[in-house]
Amino acid sequence: MKLKGAIAFATATVAFTGFAAFAETKPMDVSFEDGMVAVSLTGQAGDPVEGRKVFMNRKLGNCLACHQNADMMEQPFHGEVGPALDGVGDRWEEADLRGIVSNAKNMFPDSIMPAFYIDSGYERPLEKFDGKSILSAQQVEDVVAYLLTLKE
Amino acid sequence: MKRALLTTACILAATAASAGEDSTLSIEGEDYITQTAAPEHMEYVDTIYSGWTFRTDETQALQMDDFDNPAFVFLDQAIDQWDTVEGSEGKSCSSCHEDVADFAGLKTSLPRVENGELVTLTNLVNECVTERMGSKEWKYSGAKMSGMTALIAHQSRGMTMNVKIDGDAAPFWEQGKELYYQRVGQLDMACSNCHEDNYGNMIRADHLSQGQINGFPLYRLKNAKINTTHGRFKGCMSNIRAVPFKEGGPEFKALELYIASRGQGLSVETPAVRN
């Protein structure tokens, strides 16, 4: 019984990985147009609840380091480096937000905002981050879905 | 153009956000220069501020009273070290130098070029340790070295920073400047992104300063010890997920010269106190 469960789980994992590899756009294959990214990176709808977590997590988005966000007043210490993100879902379309989160420098040249979905092109990365993007494709989709909920 | 606007916005933000902006650093009746006109070579900043300016009232107060300043415990240890014989020559610092107070003024001009090489205070101390005392080199940011360099730099407290950046110092200064503006790490940021474009702003819980080094070596509440300039550079580079340059290596020495030159005119505050 136990064994059967394990096999079923393994099969599901393989199936999932196989699917993700097929559908997911790799960081360097993302196509930008005027800073925007029109097509979903995963083909799977973003989850705003997950996106909210990624946004505040210091090891993931850590977006709060630079942006104030009235939706997170329970969190102390909102940064002032970037603009407040209240109402950002009114100001920008989904494709804009996907572009900004994936690589903000395509929208705002010379921005301090890190590119969350590139895995090369940066200098002297610490070894454990080398060849990796800060967020996964699905985490980007989740953050974008969350940003779209920020309406005024 | 965009750059100029950004800087102006930052100065305004700094004025609005910092409680300590207008307060005066005064220790034992002596006033310190914590804010002054930027040196001519700085293109994007009008006024330079000591890191003290951006700290909370509580942290500021710790630096205003030598009895409260936790750094002095480490300076006392360094005074003991000053008289400690070590190495094959049977000498201590005091065998050759009558009084550590004779080093007044030294920190204001460091790093400097000697025989074509850029040397820091740490290099000068290690030269004595190895060549004159016949001992093993002290670790660049180790406890012995950070204490001793803090004690020596402290003799210049209240004097203004004045490093040489032209002549034979120029190529080192240029290298340091390049490193200051070079983006590194997975987060792809330069020192300037935080300490020039955004000083005065909060980055999560941290109030960004101009990243000046006039108070170094200094005491940090965070790790309860004396911290060196190269140690701090290393910390900032790790935070942006970059492989730091080597402490005592050519890159950090050049960066130290360049950043010291961005603080020309500020008082030496060693040992400062930071969070």
Structural domain including B27 reads 8-68+160-268
Instruction: Decide: helix, strand or coil at residue A85.
Output: coil
DSSP A36: B
Per-residue pLDDT band for A8 (boundaries 50, 70, 90) equals very low
pLDDT at B21: 61
Distance from CA of A78 to the nearest CA of B (A): 5
Cα B107 to Cα B103: distance, rounded to the nearest angstrom: 8
The answer to whether residues B262 and B172 belong to one domain is yes
Q: What is the CATH number of the domain that holds B138?
A: 1.10.760.10
The answer to whether residues B176 and B262 belong to one domain is yes
Cα B78 to Cα B271: distance, rounded to the nearest angstrom: 13
The answer to whether residues B44 and B169 belong to one domain is yes
pLDDT at B15: 38
Closest chain A residue to B192 measured between Cα atoms?
Answer: A112
- Is B111 contained in some domain? no
Return the number of CB contacts < 8 Å for A and B. 72
- Give me the residue from B183, B185, B204 closest to A79, CB to CB: B204
Average pLDDT on B173-185 reads 98
pLDDT at A23: 75
pLDDT above 50 (res A32): yes
The answer to whether residues B39 and B166 belong to one domain is yes
Per-residue pLDDT band for A22 (boundaries 50, 70, 90) equals low
Tens digits of per-residue pLDDT, B49-90?
999 999 999 999 999 999 999 999 999 999 999 999 999 999
What does the mean pLDDT of chain A come to? 89
Per-residue pLDDT band for B269 (boundaries 50, 70, 90) equals very high
Contacts with A152 (C-beta within 8 Å, 6 or more apart), sequence order: A86, A87, A90
pLDDT at B20: 54
Q: B231: how many CB neighbours lie within 10 A of its CB?
A: 20
Burial class (CB in 10 A: 0-12, 13-18, 19+), B113: middle
pLDDT above 70 (res B249): yes
pLDDT at B8: 37
Tens digits of per-residue pLDDT, B47-60?
999 999 999 999 99
The answer to whether residues B60 and B187 belong to one domain is yes
- Is B240 contained in some domain? yes
Question: For residue B81, what are its two tokens?
Answer: 């070290």
Q: How far is CA A6 from CA A15, A18, A19, B243, in A?
A: 14, 18, 20, 41
The answer to whether residues B182 and B83 belong to one domain is no
Distance from CA of B100 to the nearest CA of A (A): 40
**CATH class name, domain A25-147:** mainly alpha
Q: B274 has which bridge partners? A: B220
The answer to whether residues B251 and B197 belong to one domain is yes
Catalytic-role residue among B128, B191, B194, B236: B236
Tens digits of per-residue pLDDT, B79-125?
999 999 999 999 999 999 999 999 999 999 999 999 999 999 999 99
pLDDT at A136: 98
The answer to whether residues B145 and B178 belong to one domain is no
ipTM confidence score: 0.90
Average pLDDT on B253-267 reads 98
Asked whether A64 and A78 are in contact (CB, 8 A), the reply is yes
Q: Look at residues B202, B181, B205 and name the one whose alpha carbon lies nearest to residue B191.
A: B181
Tens digits of per-residue pLDDT, A121-149?
999 999 999 999 999 999 999 999 999 99
The domain limits of chain A are 25-147
In this prediction, what percent of chain B has a pLDDT beyond 90? 91
pLDDT at A9: 45
Cα A57 to Cα A134: distance, rounded to the nearest angstrom: 12
Inter-chain touch B205–A123, beta carbons under 8 Å: no
pLDDT above 60 (res A1): no
Per-residue pLDDT band for A20 (boundaries 50, 70, 90) equals very low
Contacts B204 to A, Cβ<8 Å: 58, 62, 64-66, 77-79
Distance from CA of B254 to the nearest CA of A (A): 18
- Is B100 contained in some domain? yes
Inter-chain touch A122–B183, beta carbons under 8 Å: yes
Cα B98 to Cα A127: distance, rounded to the nearest angstrom: 48
Closest chain B residue to A116 measured between Cα atoms?
Answer: B187
Average pLDDT on B263-269 reads 98
The answer to whether residues B148 and B13 belong to one domain is no
The torsion angles phi and psi of A118, rounded to 5 degrees, stand at -130, 150
pLDDT at A150: 98
pLDDT at B102: 97
pLDDT at B23: 80
Question: For residue B255, what are its two tokens?
Answer: 């960066």
Contacts B242 to A, Cβ<8 Å: 123-126
- Is B171 contained in some domain? yes
pLDDT at B117: 97
Range from A23-32, B17-26, B143-152 that averages highest in pLDDT: B143-152
Helices (H) and strands (E) in chain A, counts: 5, 0
Average pLDDT on A1-25 reads 50
Number of domains in chain B: 2
- Give me the residue from B198, B241, B242 closest to A81, CB to CB: B198
Tens digits of per-residue pLDDT, A54-66?
999 999 999 999 9
Angle between helices B71-82 and B143-154 (to 10 degrees): 100
Burial class (CB in 10 A: 0-12, 13-18, 19+), A33: exposed
Cα A11 to Cα A6: distance, rounded to the nearest angstrom: 9
Write the secondary structure of chain B as one string of H (helix), E (strand) and C (coil): CHHHHHHHHHHHHHHHHCHHHHCCCEECCEECCCEEECCCCCCCCCEEECHHHHCCHHHHHHHCCCCCCCHHHHHHHHHHHHCCCECCCCECHHHHCCCHHHHCCCHHHCCEEECCEEECHHHHHHHHHHHHCCCCCCCCCCHHHHHHHHHHHHCCCCCECCCCCCHHHHHHHHHHHHHHCCCECCCCECHHHHHCCCCCCEECCEECCCCCCCCCCEEECCCCEEECHHHHHHHHHHHCCECCCCCCCHHHHHHHHHHHHCCCCCECCCCCEEC
pLDDT at B4: 35
Closest chain A residue to B14 measured between Cα atoms?
Answer: A80
Inter-chain touch A129–B186, beta carbons under 8 Å: yes
Inter-chain touch B186–A123, beta carbons under 8 Å: no
Asked whether B46 and B11 are in contact (CB, 8 A), the reply is yes
- Is B96 marked active-site? no
The answer to whether residues B183 and B257 belong to one domain is yes
B183-205 residues labelled b (16+ CB within 10 A) or e (exposed) = bbbbbbbbbbbbbbbbbbbbbbe
